[in-house]
Amino acid sequence: MLTIVDHRRDSAGLLYVYPVVSRRAGGVSVGINLNPNAACNWACLYCQVPDLKRGGPPPLDLPRLERELRGFLGDVLNGDFLQRHVPEASRRLVDIAFSGDGEPTTAAEFAEAVVLVERVLADLGLLGNLVVRLITNGSQLHRPAVREGIARIGACGGEVWFKLDRATTQGAQLVNGAQRTPQQTRTALLACAELAPTWVQTCWFALDGEAPGAAEEGAYLALIGELREKIRGVHLYGLARPSQQPEAKRLSPLALEDFARFARQIEALGVRVVMNP
């Protein structure tokens, strides 16, 4: 049975398509992994991908992606996949999510993959009924093809979950291994929100036993407060699955009261918060 802590990319024996039980989406999410080589342009401390390396994906085999997606969705719709592999409480198909083992928008064919998913869903009568989501670190919004793909996601009723774990340059470097300034994050998040409905997703945890400090909290709240009219809300979550990175032992969940306090601070800005400690 699939569980919320088991997000293996090979659970269906496929290269690009994998099912997970998503606690945030509330059912079965069909993942699209455009980075099957476990390469990402960021290196987040909490990442659950084993043997993660820096880089981008190899060229996509788009016909194979289409065969895998059609075949898997056919098994879900017409077979007994949900009964065999999913706990009863989660036996509903909730979305198609571009996620996987690295940043999906680093794939040169990202926009083509979005068109492909849209076509498959239309052919199966699912377009408009099954949400298409992109889970992204927002680092590629400067590329016209990426903006084109995100715009298509927005046009077909989908949405983006935009990673924002820390809002200072130092915090992004420490937590995400990313050279990212607050201005770069703000610009990318604004661009994304103009193209498709956008949620901010934030992993909030303790490092070396210490919660994020006042400077990190303040910078985050200031940015969210500035952009609160542009975003749909914040997915605030903790360490759901164990990190597979060398720094794993440095990470620990926050005390529930500290986590809830930060959520209340975000809500006080007039921003909707979906909280998963």
Count of residues in the chain: 277
Q: What is the pLDDT of residue 269?
A: 98
Enumerate the H helices of the chain as residue ranges. 62-78, 81-85, 110-123, 144-155, 169-176, 182-195, 214-226, 256-267
Phi, psi (deg, nearest 5) at residue 53: -135, 160
What was the pLDDT predicted at 2? 62
Summarize pLDDT for 115-170 with one digit per residue, the tens: 999 999 999 999 999 999 999 999 999 999 999 999 999 999 999 999 999 999 99
| Residue 99 backbone phi and psi in degrees, to 5 | -145, -115
- Taking CA atoms, 239 is separated from 10, 128, 133, 234, 243, in Å, by 22, 32, 21, 16, 8
Phi, psi of 105 (to 5 degrees): -80, 0
pLDDT lower than 50: segments of the chain:
4, 7
137 by Cβ neighbours in 10 Å (0-12 / 13-18 / 19+) ranks as buried
